[in-house]
Structures are given as C-alpha cells and as structure tokens.
Chain A
Amino acid sequence: MRNISLGRYLPNNTFIHRLDPRLKFISLIIMMSMVFFRFPSVGMNFIYYGILFIVLLILMMISKIRIKSLFKQLKALWFMMIFLLIINLFTYRVPEQNELFTIGKFIVYDAPIYQTLYIFIRLLLMVSLTMILTSTTRPLDLTSAIEWFMYPLKLIKFPVHQIAMTLSLALRFIPLLLDETGRIMNAQESRGVDFKGGKFSEKIRAIVSLMVPLFVTAFTLSEDLSFAMEARGYDPSAKRTRYRIMKFRLGDLFSFVFILVCLAGSILLLVFRVDFAPFVVNLFDLVKGLFK
C-alpha cells in the first residue's frame, strides 16, 4: 500500500509544480478531451496517441515523476484489458474490418483488437495526465482551483464552497486511508490472514477482515474531523479569505498558449482529416533503405 503513488502529491519545485493550479486543472480537461479525438485511419490514431504520449513523458520528466511508477499503477489494468479484449472479440463489429486469423470456426477481426488498444492507450494517457496533476498540485490548491471555476454557480445559490471543502477532505483522506489500510493489513496478517493466496472463500474472508475495520476507522476519522472543525468555529456559509492567493504569471500564460496551440493543432488535423500514416511509412522505408 505504501508504494501507491497515484493521487499523492510529490513535493518538489519544478516548473510544473509552480504553475497556477487553475491552469493545470483546465489543461487537464483540455488534454483529456484531446485524448478522445479519433481519426479516420488506424495509423493516424496511433501516431497521434504516440505524440500525446511523448508530450506526457516530457511533462513527467520535467515534473520529476518516475516513469516507472506510472507503469506500476497500470498493473491492475492488465486484467481489465484482457477481459475487454475478450468481450470486444465477440461483440465489437464494424462494416470495414479485416480478418486476421481464425481459431476453429471463430474469425478474429482487426477492429476489436484496435478498439481494445485505443481504450488501453486512452486509459494510459488519462492516468498519466491525472498523475501529473495530482503529483504536482497540493490537494488544497486543486480544490481552490475547482472552487474558482465553480464560482459563477454561486449566483444560482449552488453550495460551491461546501462542494470544494468536501472534495478537499476526500483528497486529504486518500493517503490517510491508504496508510490505514496498510496498518490493518499488517494487523490481520499477523493474525494469520493471507491477502495474497488462499482459496476464494479465504480471500473473501480476508477482504471482510480488512474492509470492516477500514470503514469503522474511516467513519471514526471523519467524525473526529467534523468535531475538530466545529470546535475551531468552522461555518460552511461564512465568507472566507485565503491564505494562499493564486496568481497567474507569465509562465502560466506561455503554458496556456502552448496547450491551446496543441488543441488547435489537433482540431485542425481532425477537421482536415490529415493522415500522417503514409508519410511515416515512407519515411520508415527511406531510413530502412539508407541502412541497407
């Protein structure tokens, strides 16, 4: 449990860390929407995803996030992907699809495999994006940003501050609950629980022995926290001031322009149905020819 780094803030002083949280949040939304762009040709889709992935790797390197830790978080996705591939093989059909091979009487087409790959790559990109955001932004700054974006909703009496506070507490509880899970797992393991092996019934029992105390602890912690907040005079409807004032600097502006250029470029590629695949194939052949 201690090795889980997804959703945890990594204190550092990189360029990405110093960016305005509002900019990082809006960039996340823009880049997430870019992940869902789909081009008519399969080759162009993979080139596009490849470029996005390279951009994200560069961002991760700038933020000093270990790329290895990203792949560690993806371990759990493999099972899901295999399951999805099996489902897609049986259910996903499009008019234009090529036969790849046959297993007995069952024909395997390329489209379901591409579809599964698209989903996997999109998930990978989204996990990387979220990781960059949460690793470089303090949870409190993130909720301040969300609150800032929801500010217009205050006009229709939407409880913006309460929602932001709930979000910030939820984020604050993630590492706490992860630590608590580790602690309970240790305690139950010393009572002979095997979380890794055992029969199905034993696994269920092991999960129950973890979940019940975890819920009890979570409720106790949240109750204690609410009492502590009330004891310090917390009033959800009161007008609040901020300790940290968010400032939009020149670096933020350049970053925002860069994101907008990327978005505009992607939209243009999509609108004009640009296909780099033949160009890349030709380039590849040319390079191959040079080395012969």
Chain B
Amino acid sequence: MAVKFRHVNFTYSPKSPFEHDALFDINLEIDKNSFTAVIGHTGSGKSTLIQHINALLLPTSGVVNVNQSLITPVRIRKYRRKLEKIIKSKKKTNEEKDIAKSLLEESNKFSSYKKKKLRSEVGIVFQFPEYQLFEETVLKDVSFGPRNFGKSKEEALNLAKEALNRVGIDETYYERSPFELSGGEKRRVAIAGILAMKPNILILDEPTAGLDPLSSQKMMELFFEIYKQGITIILVTHDMNHVLNYATHVVVMKDGKVERKTTPRELFANIKGEDVISLPPLYKFMHELADRGCPLKIDNINNEKDLAKAIKEIKGHA
C-alpha cells in the first residue's frame, strides 16, 4: 500500500471567519505502482485530498499513512495522548471510541513522517505548474528541487538533465530563461522540476488543464510511461477519456467524501453519467445504443475496436 487514509477529516481555516469543512471521514487505500484517477466536481475535495499525501495540509483529525510513515494532525506523541483521552472519555460515543482505538493502533505501529524525506518521495505537479518557475535558466530551475533535498550541484544538474530529457526538452533549452518558453514548454519544464526529485509517488493535479488536445495526449503518454517504470501515479482530472485510457483505479469524490473506489471500466459500464461523472464518449454512445434496445454487453467492450466488432456481430445475428 502506497497511501492509506484513515478517518481523515479536514477543515480549512478552523476557528476563523473563513472556516469550512472540506473532507469528511476519508478512508481510502491507494495501491503501490497503480495509476489512480481522482474525479469529482469542482469543490468536491480532490485537491484537498491529494495535498494531504505530502503533508502540505495536515488532517484536522485522522491519519494518513504514506510509505509506512504517518501524517498526523499534531506531533505523533501528542496525538497518541489525545486518542487515549478520547478512549477513556465518558462523553464520547462508542463509535468515536472505536475510531480512536483503531487510529491509536495505527499510530503505535508506524513512526511519524520526516517532512524533507516525504516531500522527496511524493512529488506534486499542481495545476498550471508553469507559475512556479522562477530561476534564470531552465536547467537551474529544474535542479532547484534536488538541490533543496541535499543533492550536490553536479548530481542535481545530472538529475535535471535526465528529467528534462524525459519530458522531451533538449539541451538547446538548458540555458534559456523559462519565461521565454511557450506555455506547453513551460509546463514540461515545471513537470521536469518534480521528476528530477525522483519521487516514488507522483501526484498530478489536472496537469493537462489549458493544453491543446495533442499536447494533452502527449503529456498523458509521458505520465503513463512514468507509471510503467514503477512509480505510483495519482491523477486528479475532469477528463474521463484520460481516466478510461490510462488509469487502473478511479476514486469518485462528492461533497468531501469518497463515494466509491473502483476500476474505470466498471465505473463507466455501470453508471449512466448523471450526477458526479460525465461519461467518456465511447461509453456515452454504448449506453445510448443499449437504451435504444441494442443488446450490447458493455462490460466486455474496452475500446472502439471492440465496439465495432460487437456491433458487427449483432448485425450478423439480425
């Protein structure tokens, strides 16, 4: 298991005029070496959820286990004491006590996270990552992350070159200012900045937002390539085609809660696209055909070719 959320709740700006609850009792496991898509409406808590994985946000209550280290709301010892208090309290309900017991068990099993180590292991590519560029040259900007994590200048430059090569930026760009590049190039440089840190979990928060379809597809292929090299990918997206074509698992979020975790095919085959999910065109078409009486077995169809074959077979029988 790469990431495990246990009874996680999160409130923004607690005890301030801007207080609002964003996550409610999240229990979720994300497998190692999986490609997990997180989907849901704007404001459903997707970005809040992923920011817990590298401790940019700390849970208000509950714990997040990342690579066997624990992210707790406060220092782990203090949190254990707090949980013990809840267990002993007479005012708490049995349900609250049971949750506290299981969290205490979890916190006794694992040690607390080390911020630097965790952030070098979990890379986050935020929406419009090009806005985080600031150095004078592309190479310097990409090597900024590895340098912060204690790599020597030479090592950092090598890692930067390797990452730039991975995203298709050649050496003619190395000494150019990142601000001179086109939008797509800037984004690739920003992503290289994260890849250079060699994370084993890569979180992508709508990485293709604002890109043209071709660049978007190329970008997704790059991430899929990275996933095939053994890195766990967590992708936040609104593009259901990306979910269908690349993800191995999908987490559906609604109003700060995890509504379900399943595989993309199972999700799209059994839902008609109302409410949280807009179906990919292939599934929309298949559901439309099925609604009009076409005897399609949606579960067995994975792509356009399968669909064409199935239609041909049905036509043959008719």
Against A, the Cβ 8 Å flags (1 = close, 0 = not) of B130-148 are 0111100000000011011
**B:167-192 near A, CB below 8 Å:** 179
Q: Which of B18, B122, B123, B179 has the most CB of A within 10 A?
A: B18
Contacts of A193 in B (CB 8 A): 148
Q: A66-B17, A213-B131 are in contact. Are A2 and B194 (CB under 8 A)?
A: no
Task: List residues of B whose CB falls within 8 A of some A CB.
Answer: 12-13, 15-18, 51, 54, 56, 116, 119-120, 122-124, 126, 129, 131-134, 144-145, 147-149, 179, 193-194, 197
Do residues A192 and B134 form an inter-chain contact, with CB atoms below 8 A? no
Nearest chain A CB to B125's CB is how many angstroms away? Answer: 9
Whether A115 sits at the interface, judged by CB under 8 Å, is no
Q: A187-B126, A189-B119, A208-B134 are in contact. Are A69 and B16 (CB under 8 A)?
A: yes
Nearest chain A CB to B22's CB is how many angstroms away? Answer: 11
Q: Which of B12, B15, B17, B116 has the most CB of A within 10 A?
A: B17
* Residue of A whose beta carbon sits closest to that of B132: A187
Do residues B197 and A5 form an inter-chain contact, with CB atoms below 8 A? no
Do residues B12 and A2 form an inter-chain contact, with CB atoms below 8 A? yes
* Residue of B whose beta carbon sits closest to that of A191: B145
Nearest chain A CB to B171's CB is how many angstroms away? Answer: 22
Do residues A189 and B56 form an inter-chain contact, with CB atoms below 8 A? yes
Task: List residues of A whose CB falls within 8 A of some B CB.
Answer: 2-3, 5, 8, 10, 65-66, 68-69, 72, 135, 183-184, 186-194, 208-209, 212-213, 216-217
Q: Which 3 A-B pairs have CB atoms at the shortest separation, nearest pair first?
A: A192-B148, A212-B134, A187-B132
Do residues B131 and A217 form an inter-chain contact, with CB atoms below 8 A? yes
Q: A183-B126, A216-B179 are in contact. Are A188 and B16 (CB under 8 A)?
A: no
Contacts of B116 in A (CB 8 A): 192
The listed residue (A5, A187, A190) touching B16 by CB distance below 8 A is A5
* Residue of A whose beta carbon sits closest to that of B115: A194
Do residues B17 and A65 form an inter-chain contact, with CB atoms below 8 A? yes
Contacts of A3 in B (CB 8 A): 13, 16, 18
Nearest chain A CB to B223's CB is how many angstroms away? Answer: 17
Contacts of B51 in A (CB 8 A): 186
Do residues B56 and A190 form an inter-chain contact, with CB atoms below 8 A? yes
Enumerate 7 A-B pairs (CB-CB under 8 Å) in ascending A order.
A66-B17, A69-B17, A183-B126, A191-B119, A193-B148, A209-B132, A216-B179
Contacts of B129 in A (CB 8 A): 187
The listed residue (B132, B145, B197) touching A184 by CB distance below 8 A is B132
Q: In the complex, A213 Cα to B178 Cα: how many Å? A: 11
Q: In the complex, A190 Cα to B51 Cα: how many Å? A: 10
Do residues A190 and B134 form an inter-chain contact, with CB atoms below 8 A? no
